[in-house]
Structure 1
Amino acid sequence: MENKAHALVAGLFLLLLGLGLAASVAWFQGDRTERVKYTVVARGGVPGLNLKAPVKLRGVEVGYVESIGFDPADPRQILVGIAVDAAAPVSTATYAQLGLQGVTGLSFVGLEEGDAKGTLQRAAAGARFALRPTLLDRLAESGPGLVAGFAETATRLNALLSEDNRAQLGKTLAELQQAAADTSKLMASLQPSARELPGLLKDADATARRAQAALTRIEALAADGQLLAQDLKARAAALDELQAAAVQVQATSRNLELALVGETSPRTRPVLADVSAASRSIERAADALGEQPQSLIFGRGAQPPGPGEAGFAERIKK
């Protein structure tokens, strides 16, 4: 009996020890993280996505896929249930995309922030995020259009590169080559002129400076001429006054002669003769100055030779 009792105790001990080890393994392997459930809405397909596929927020794994199924309200939509760590900063502007896990062909759900610069507003539990197509998806959708465009471009290139067009293109290239050669020759012929151009510019600059100096001198001469003309006008006015005075003196002398014609005495006749001679001298001086006013400045010119004088015959011939 004692052997049976000892065997029973040993068996119970081993059973309890196994249960404890199993509970410990389950405890350590169990997921104790608090999760928040969201739903990803896909209008297209979700190829390569399976249950328990990872969910990553900006490349950091924060959860897993719990369920995949069609939307009962709209069978054209696929609802993907995800469980995300409650501490993950999932905002109301978050959207989802499918990513590839290496070369296995399996996909994962990637969450991206729609407004990275805005204020973070956490999404409520059960919120829905739209599944946006990736760049590869957009390329796949636009593939038929791209192929059609390439085909049309190839057709137009074939039409453009026909025999006639190729011949015309070759002719145009030959003309361009000839034009380039002519341009090179023209530039070579212009190089000597270009080397002389700095000297010509220096000469033109010197000529301009000399012209400016000449203009300055001409302006000074013009100013002097203007002053001389004003002086001549003033002297001409003085000559006019002198001539008027001479006329007045002559008139006065004539009046004196008329007044004294009946009372002329031997004493008054010389006086009258002197007055008359003086008036005639003043009149001749006034006439001479009126004819040659420049004589006041430059002096009186030489009188032309009269009859019997040297040079009179040459003057008559002229």
Structure 2
Amino acid sequence: MENRSHAMMAGLFMIILLIGAAIAAIWISKKNVPLKPFELVATSPVTGLSVQSQVRYQGVPVGRVDALRFIQDKPGQVRILIGVAPNTPITTATWAEIVTAGVTGISNIELRDKGETHDRLESSAQHLAEIPIRPSFFERLQSQGGGMLASLERVLTQVEKIASDDNLSAINAAIKHSAQMTESLNKSVQAMEPGLKKLPAVMDTLLATGKRVDSAALEIGKLAVAAQDTVTLLNAPNGPMQTAAKSLTGLQEVAIQLRASTLPDVSVLSMSLTDAARSFNKTSREIGQSPQSLIFGLPRQAPGPGEPGFAGFNGNGSPVR
């Protein structure tokens, strides 16, 4: 049993040794991958940044800092040389920020990109490409700290003015008035509650009335359509209106014809009847004066003056018979 346990321990040790060797080989192989060089120029302090500091792309480790140098002809600027893995998608829109990691004071370089372009930034040892550095959040906060403090002081001054005794008294009075208004509003709501309970019934009545109005409007619409149809029928070709118009036209023509032909004939007939009546009256008078004229005819008339056989006048001026 003891020999078996020793053999098992020896085998386990060998397995752990092989795994460690594999991990070391992988780590060494990664370290031997050539990195693509890039250049950064910092105009602000690079506190906490040193050689072998990490370079991250969107939070993923992709390289390290290779060197920190001063630019002799540009005081206040620091040249930072970094090495980045060749497969890192650095584009012409990529920029860098120097970010402090936690409270340790160690700084790293963060490469950021919004993905606005796909044009890769080419760089080599002979022609180093420069990646611009933008101020980090804490640097922007530090640069704007003076203005923020001034604004904070102004805000505190205004708060102090608002919190004066007079304003606090006014605020307390306003709160009391608000409480009174709330109480009055509650009373108003309680008074309105019976009316609100009746509101559904009123709404139902209004809906029923609206339905009746709609029905009446529909009937009126039907009557209007029927009236329109009646008017159309009356005005239709050979309809009652045109027939009546034709009848009136015929009556007008008959009246014109009656006025043009019949009435003159009636006038002539009337004149003839008048003449006949005069002749009859004359004959009646003559028969009344000489009834024998019906048998013997009319008496012969005595010749008048200037006629042959005229005998002259008697003593009274009457002609002699």
TM-score using structure 1 length? 0.57
SS at match of 2:155: helix
SS at match of 1:80: strand
The reply to whether residue 204 of structure 1 matches residue 206 of structure 2 is no
CA distance in 2 between partners of 1:108 and 1:252 (Å) = 138
Say which is worse superposed, 74-83 or 31-40, in terms of deviation: 31-40
SS at match of 2:118: coil
Distance 1:214 1:76, change over 3 A: closer
Distance 1:250 1:71, change over 3 A: same
- Corresponding pairs, count: 238
Say which is worse superposed, 255-264 or 74-83, in terms of deviation: 255-264
CA distance in 2 between partners of 1:214 and 1:35 (Å) = 92
Distance 1:34 1:230, change over 3 A: closer
RMSD: 4.3
CA deviation string 1:280-317 (max 9, x = no partner): xxxxxxxxxxxxxxxxxxxxxxxxxxxxxxxxxxxxxx
Query: Of 170, 178, 187, which residue of structure 1 is paired with 2:175?
Result: 170
Q: Where do 1:234-253 residues align within 5 Å?
A: 245=258, 249=262, 251-253=264-266
Q: Where do 1:87-236 residues align within 5 Å?
A: 88-113=88-113, 115=115, 117-125=117-125, 126-161=128-163, 162-167=167-172, 169-171=174-176, 173-174=178-179, 177-178=182-183, 180-181=185-186, 182=188, 185-186=191-192, 189-210=195-216, 212-214=218-220, 216-217=222-223, 220=227, 223=231
Q: Where do 1:24-63 residues align within 5 Å?
A: 32-63=32-63
How far off is 1:165 after superposition? 3.7
Find the counterpart in structure 2 of residue 68 from structure 1. Answer: 68
SS at match of 1:128: coil
SS at match of 1:118: coil
**Structure 2 contact 37–124 (Cα < 8 Å) conserved:** no
Say which is worse superposed, 44-53 or 241-250, in terms of deviation: 241-250
CA distance in 2 between partners of 1:252 and 1:131 (Å) = 130
Gaps of 5+ in 1: 1-27, 267-318
TM-score using structure 2 length? 0.56
CA distance in 2 between partners of 1:36 and 1:175 (Å) = 76
Find the counterpart in structure 2 of residue 6 from structure 1. Answer: none
Gaps of 5+ in 2: 1-27, 281-321
Q: Which amino acid aligns with 1:258?
A: M
How far off is 1:45 after superposition? 1.0
CA distance in 1 between partners of 2:71 and 2:34 (Å) = 26
Q: Which amino acid aligns with 2:51?
A: L
The reply to whether residue 259 of structure 1 matches residue 272 of structure 2 is yes
How far off is 1:120 after superposition? 2.1
Percent identity, aligned pairs only, is 21
